[in-house]
Amino acid sequence: MEYYTTVAGDVWDIIAKKFYGNELMADRIMQDRENITLLDYAVFPFGIVLHIPEVTEEQSYQDNLPDWRRS
C-alpha cells in the first residue's frame, strides 16, 4: 500500500505521471475508494494524502488502449 502527500499545485495527472509514468492513468488514482472524497479537487493544496493503488504491467498497458482494442 502506497500513499502520497500532495504539495501545493499538484493535479491528478501529474501525480499519475509521477507514480505510473503515464498521466493517462490518473483515473486509477481517482477511482480508488480511499480517494473518492477528494474528487472535488482539480488542484491540490499542500498536505492531502492520496492512496496510490498498485497497477500491474498488464493493467497499465490495457489502460492506454482505446476501448475497442481492450481484451
Confidence at residue 56, expressed as pLDDT on a 0 to 100 scale: 73
3 state DSSP class of 39:
coil
Domain count along the chain: 1
Backbone angles phi, psi at 50, to 5 degrees: -110, 140
* pTM: predicted TM-score of the whole model, two decimal places: 0.78
Confidence at residue 70, expressed as pLDDT on a 0 to 100 scale: 58
Kindly give the confidence (pLDDT) of every residue in the chain, 71 residues in length, as a single tens digit, with 9 standing for 90 and above. Answer: 799 999 999 999 999 999 999 898 999 999 999 999 999 999 999 999 999 999 876 555 555 566 676 55
Residues spanned by the domain of 20: 2-69
